[in-house]
Structure 1
Amino acid sequence: MDLLIDGFIKAWDMIISGDSEIFQITWLTLKVSMTAIILSMLIGIPVGVVLGLAHFPGRSILLVFINIGMGLPPVVAGLWITIFLWRSGPLGWLSWLYTPKAIIIAQILVSLPIIIGLTSSAFQQIDSKFLLQLKALGATKWQALVLLLKETKIAIFAAVMAGLGRIMAEVGAAMMVGGNIRGDTRILTTSIVMEVSKGNFDIALALSFILMTLAFMITLILTLLQQRRTTK
């Protein structure tokens, strides 16, 4: 219990004292996480809609791979990204390895299957009678899509929150592709692992409190948006 209290006090001291390194790490964590979740949404929601509504050859196989990807170990994602971004790899010319861009790619890779899978599942559960009713009313494809998005908005928000949770909790791939470089690619999760390895449990707990506060605030905002929209 004393260790938890010390960690909370340490976190408060870091914030109050305006520790520049802590603010830099927190800002980078927020920046890469929000970039990754926005890109995952832009890709994942449309793909999930198509997989949920359309029927085409190979759809079942794609859904199988999406479901497998939902449980993809982050270190496996990190390994593949490292291989592709390595100097002699197919994308080595980009020089993105050990940069925030590599961390964003890793976070997208672990969150994208979750958003696609949950969105697809939500659209597959739409009553076929509702789809027939939209056609009978003469709704255009865009009008029907808007109505279907409103119908599944709760599930879509849940998918986004699940993807964001996976992103903010990810450490293995971020450590592997980012290198945990001070002032460049060090984020809260990799900092916590590093401090634990050094035996600085009070600092690790302090960083964990900051990370949990950040995650709570973002999730709270998304939940309020989700619930506010459901009343309209």
Structure 2
Amino acid sequence: MADDSSAWQLILAGDPVLLSIVRVSLAVSLSALALASLVGLPLGAMLALLRFPGRGLLVVLLNALMGLPPVVVGLAVYLLLSRSGPLGAFGLLFTPTAMVIAQTIIIIPIIAAPTRQSVEDFWHEYRDELTAMGVGPIGRMMTLLWDARISLFTAVLAGFGRAAAEVGAVMIVGGNIEGFTRTMTTAVVLETSKGNLPLAMGLGIILVALVIAINAVVWTTRTWSERQAG
């Protein structure tokens, strides 16, 4: 109970160490989410609308990548950014940029796969109308992405939740450096091992609150969409 009380005191008092960790976490996760959305949304839409040899294989691969172990992504990015790797000259390893790259790779499939399914469903529904109006490929993609915006918003939020909760990959490529690359998840692991339970619990409370907030927004959005449709 004392640790729990201390955890709340850290949060309410705005402990600088705690706030610094939260700030790094949100900056990395939101940056990765923005990049993943820029890639995942058009990628999913193109796979839904275009027909080409090997498309089925790409769809299967994209769906499989949704369950890709994050530590594998972390290892791959580490090898790319290490001194002996092809991108080692840029000196990105153990920086927030490396963490953003890893998280982006992890959440692209989480955004792209639902996008493909949603856009494909809408395409089957509106194909005749869009074809009759002579809407081109880009116009079709933009129209269907807009029509599927509620489902896509849910997918994007799911991607953010996955990024915010990630620990393995960001620890491998970020190094868990205090004040620089230490995120909420990696800090919880470290502080728990050190016995600093108030800080670990404080960060855990914020993580749980973040997850609840994301799910609340998803539920509210879906409910509002269903009422609008009805």
Task: Give the direction of change, closer, same or farther, for the CA distance of 1:226–1:157 in structure 2 (3 Å limit).
Answer: farther
Of residues 174, 187, 212 in structure 2, which corresponds to 1:191? 187
Offset of residue 39 of structure 1: 0.7
Amino acid at match of 1:156: L
Aligned to 1:98, the other structure's residue is in SS state: coil
Residues 143-188 of structure 1: CA deviation (Å, up to 9, x unaligned): 5334312331222112112211110110000111101000110010
Amino acid at match of 2:28: V
Q: Show the counterpart of 2:77.
A: 81
Q: Show the counterpart of 2:46.
A: 50
Contact 1:79–1:173 (CA<8 Å) still a contact in 2? Answer: yes
Give the structure-2-normalised TM-score: 0.89
Equivalence map 1:1-232=2 (5 Å): 2=1, 6-7=3-4, 9-126=5-122, 128-217=124-213, 220=216, 231=228
Offset of residue 141 of structure 1: 4.5
The 2-side partners of 1:99 and 1:152 are apart by 36
Q: CA RMSD in A?
A: 2.2
Give unpaired runs (5+ residues) of structure 1: none
How many equivalent pairs are there? 228
The 1-side partners of 2:209 and 2:61 are apart by 34
Task: Give the direction of change, closer, same or farther, for the CA distance of 1:76–1:129 in structure 2 (3 Å limit).
Answer: closer
Contact 1:11–1:210 (CA<8 Å) still a contact in 2? Answer: no
Contact 1:40–1:115 (CA<8 Å) still a contact in 2? Answer: yes
Offset of residue 223 of structure 1: 5.7
| Percent of aligned pairs sharing the same letter | 41
Give unpaired runs (5+ residues) of structure 2: none
